[in-house]
Structure 1
Amino acid sequence: MTGPLADARVAADGDRWTLIFVRDLPQPPEQVWPALVDPERLDRWAPFTASRALTETGPATLTMVDGDDRTALPATVRRVEPPHLLEYTWGEDLLRWELAPVEGGTRLTLRHTLADRDMDAMVAAGWHLCADVLARLLAGEPVTAIRGRDAMRHGWAELRDRYAELFA
């Protein structure tokens, strides 16, 4: 069982769609922020590796990892406002990470703008698994990223179906 779904929805954004994915974490934004921008930490929970720290605006490369397969995609870091806002392109997508202090920690909101609405449940399922790993990483557990085909062994298909039902 993959547990409860995240607070997630899809909103029209011009001719594109934005997945809005929210997860509360028990750490303050200052402790969550490095996991979003540091390449070594990103490599432990995100679906990609980063060619550099995402702490300054400008070009970067985010490489999707699926077992031994690697797909490098151009990225541009557009906004960096530590420890509350990070925005970058990833291929044709736009990711906007917002960290807001809340009682007991941080509300992490990801706004992932997609060209294809048909991808929303698949992307939500992937970020769900990534957020689970991120939470464990921040709690100090020794973890590795769940990405690519490996996600199938961790309930990705069930999550995809449940998010598709939620977004219908």
Structure 2
Amino acid sequence: MFDPGPPAAVTYEQELDDRWTLRFTRDLRHPPERVWQALTDPSLLDQWAPFTALRDLGTPGDATLVMVDGETRVPLDATVRVAEPPALLVYEWGPDLLRWELAPIDGGTRLTLRHTTGGRDMLGKVTAGWHLCVRVLELLLDGTPHGVIRGGDAKRFGFDDLCAAYESRI
């Protein structure tokens, strides 16, 4: 049985251009180098992220991230802007900007995701989606993989409850 866990520490900020930034923080029991690998290696991303990557994201440059929902595949242009292993990964994904910060803490990593997106109305869904993905990442790193949760499948794993909980914080 999959346990998504309680809502994570999050904040939301409205940007000057009417975009919004989610700040999502989770402490993981694994060192930054190991978390970095999971954020950049296509074979590991495929086991936890909402997309597949057509190349390693550990170096700057253009990339393609393919959003997956069941049999539907939607390729989106991406550009890795900053890759400073194992501390900072910043990339554009379609119209969004994702900034992954990894800080060492007590033998583990404080993972902070800042996801800037187009509108306030999507923040609850974006947050719930990342919550599930990061929980799957955590299980993968723990050596007890659950299997990726993407798209419509998320509804079977607590997505709606998480979405409501996060929307109440906006």
Please give the range of the TM-score, normalised by the shorter of the 2 chains.
over 0.9
Report the Cα offset of residue 2 of structure 1: 4.0
Gap runs ≥5 in structure 2: none
2:61 paired residue number: 58
Letter in 2 for 1:57: P
SS of structure 2 residue aligned to 1:45: coil
SS of structure 1 residue aligned to 2:147: coil
2:95 paired residue number: 92
**What's the Cα RMSD here?**
1.0
**How many angstroms apart in 2 are the aligned matches of 1:9 and 1:120?**
10
Letter in 1 for 2:96: D
Please list every run of at least 4 consecutive aligned residues from structure 1 whose deviation after the TM superposition is greater than 6 angstroms: none
Encode CA deviations 1:25-58: one digit per residue, 9 max, x unaligned.
0111011110000000000000000010001111
1:134 paired residue number: 137
Which of residues 11, 14, 17 is equivalent to 2:16? 14
Contact 2:136/2:145 (CA < 8 Å) preserved in 1?
Answer: no
Report the Cα offset of residue 104 of structure 1: 4.1
1:36 partnered with 2:49:
no
**How many angstroms apart in 1 are the aligned matches of 2:138 and 2:42?**
17
Which of residues 148, 151, 155 is equivalent to 2:151? 148
**How many angstroms apart in 2 are the aligned matches of 1:31 and 1:58?**
22
**How many angstroms apart in 2 are the aligned matches of 1:91 and 1:106?**
27
**How many angstroms apart in 2 are the aligned matches of 1:38 and 1:147?**
18
Report the Cα offset of residue 78 of structure 1: 0.3
1:158 paired residue number: 161
Percent of matched pairs sharing the same residue? 58
**How many angstroms apart in 2 are the aligned matches of 1:112 and 1:69?**
23
Letter in 2 for 1:124: T
Contact 2:4/2:135 (CA < 8 Å) preserved in 1?
Answer: no
Q: Under a length normalisation based on structure 1, what TM-score does the superposition of the two structures give?
A: 0.97
Task: Give the total of aligned pairs.
Answer: 167
Alignment of 1:99-110 (within 5 A): 99-110=102-113
Report the Cα offset of residue 90 of structure 1: 0.5
